[in-house]
Amino acid sequence: MIKKERGLVICISGMAGSGKSTLAKRIAERYGLSYFSGGDALKQLAVEKGYKPKGDGWWESEEGLRFLKERKKDERFDKRVDDKLLEMADRGNVVLDSWTMPWLLKGEALKIWLKVSLEKRAERAAKRDRIEIQSIMGIIQEKDEMTRSIYKSLYGFDFGRDLSPFDLILNTDRFGPDEVYDVVSKVIDLYIKKLHKAG
């Protein structure tokens, strides 16, 4: 059971290309919190298995998809990462950049989902990797379905479709990174005030 006295815990989630990692790092810096990324932890496990995860587009690469298929066959990869994330949450005063924690984490935490369309994600990835939008769109959809299948099998939640755990859902198609940061910061300020009143 997560302790109520653990301090501030913020979960930021969203599909790849939503800007969640950039936002989570900025929020951690602003509020003096630790930052922990589930994606980075998975990449470290990939390194241990002999993969070479480099660059922001690695998950959409042939090697990244191969590791995703390996994760699908062996749930220990994701379990190890999620156990670590839960441990970080238990310590408190942390921003978790994670796909699983909003559903798995019990106790007091602010959970934020950054909504983004498939078209916008493909546009961003195509610009980043300098390839055609249509080419990357199919890869993104394949990756989404495999990721959803992993979490459905492991934990039973419908990743990216069931948004019931979230306190704030923000459409990043409509707002730039700075605007998203400003909105989320205001919500966190209100959340902190609420925690202090409750304490």
Mean pLDDT for all residues in the chain: 91
d(CA 13, CA 67): 21
pTM for this one? Answer: 0.90
Q: CATH class for domain 4-198?
A: alpha beta
Q: What are the tens digits of pLDDT across the range 36-69?
A: 999 999 999 999 999 999 877 888 889 999 999 9
> Can you give the pLDDT at residue 136?
87
Q: Is the pLDDT of residue 75 over 90?
A: no
Q: What is the average pLDDT across 162-181? A: 96
- Residue ranges of the domains in the chain? 4-198
Taking residue 183's Cβ as centre, other Cβ atoms within 10 Å add up to 14
Q: Is the pLDDT of residue 173 over 70?
A: yes
Return the top range by mean pLDDT from 54-63, 137-146, 175-184: 175-184
